[in-house]
């Protein structure tokens, strides 16, 4: 499991996921709107929209908010025109970072992202400078206390998954081809597997190990600041550090 994934799990377990409810809703609504705009408003034929709706429901978003966001995406209602922008850069110790944004003002977002990189000891780079260090995958998270590793492995492979990571002490991570994510998720659910979350992600193909606590603090502050920015949807990085150090930082 990549360090970034472990960090999210530790933050969750430590109740440190302090993103404001309104901010979370804003990000989810943007994703629903863009997903509907690109793939249509019917979640049965739009996997990205299905995943976005599931995340919104899990966050207890009112159904009418979800429906309005879909209609804004399909053009049935007027709304803000969001565009997807991806930034790439480096954190302390040369850690590779990718930042996915949905914005209605590219100049504002670029300025904000550059400022956060600089403020926390990183550098915003050019397009393509680190993306080759990641691979796009589907990722399904399953609580370890809900199923045995042997049983999950059998069901996951039968459902079409590529691999299972068991390193974390709380969750299994099931890796899929991006286009197979929702099909594998549905097959696992039908097989009685409890799904914590399913998402399209970028997994690092090579990692940078962080051993110094001061560097670790700077890096985590940068990643958290980026994730808390209103226009940022997802942040990916390729750091590795001990779970003990992450727990101390949390």
Q: Where do the domains of the chain lie, and which CATH numbers do they carry?
A: 3-74 (1.10.10.200), 83-130+206-240 (3.30.70.980), 133-203 (3.30.70.980)
Q: What is the pLDDT of residues 112-160, one digit of tens each?
A: 999 999 999 999 999 999 999 999 999 999 999 999 999 999 999 999 9
Q: Please tell me the predicted confidence (pLDDT) of residue 15.
A: 42
* Mean pLDDT score, 30-35: 96
* Mean pLDDT score, 226-245: 91
DSSP 228-249: HSTTEEEEEE-EE--HHHHHHH
How would residue 167 be classed by pLDDT, with cut points 50, 70 and 90? confident
Question: Cα(239)–Cα(73) distance, rounded to whole angstroms?
Answer: 35
Phi-psi region of 175 (alpha: psi -120 to 50; beta: other; left: phi over 0): beta
């Amino acid at each position: 499991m990549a360090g970034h994934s472990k960090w999210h799990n530790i933050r969750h377990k430590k109740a440190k996921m302090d993103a404001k409810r309104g901010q979370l809703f804003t990000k989810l609504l943007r994703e629903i709107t863009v997903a509907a705009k690109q793939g249509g408003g019917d979640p049965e034929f739009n996997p990205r929209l299905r995943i976005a709706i599931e995340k919104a429901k899990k966050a207890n978003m009112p159904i009418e908010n979800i429906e309005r966001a879909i209609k804004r995406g399909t053009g049935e209602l007027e709304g803000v025109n969001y565009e997807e922008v991806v930034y790439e850069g480096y954190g302390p110790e040369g850690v590779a970072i990718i930042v996915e944004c949905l914005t209605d003002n590219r100049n504002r977002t670029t300025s904000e992202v550059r400022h956060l990189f600089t403020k926390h000891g990183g550098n915003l780079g050019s397009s393509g400078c680190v993306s080759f260090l990641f691979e796009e995958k589907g990722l399904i998270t399953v609580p370890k206390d809900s199923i045995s590793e042997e049983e999950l492995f059998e069901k996951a492979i039968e459902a079409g998954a590529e691999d299972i990571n068991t390193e974390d002490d709380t969750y299994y991570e099931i890796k899929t081809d991006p286009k197979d994510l929702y099909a594998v998720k549905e097959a696992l659910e039908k097989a009685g597997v409890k799904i914590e979350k399913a998402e399209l992600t970028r997994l690092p193909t090579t990692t940078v190990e962080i051993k110094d606590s001061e560097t670790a603090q700077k890096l985590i502050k940068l990643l958290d600041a980026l994730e808390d920015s209103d226009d940022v949807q997802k942040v990916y990085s390729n750091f590795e550090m001990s779970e003990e150090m992450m727990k101390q930082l949390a």
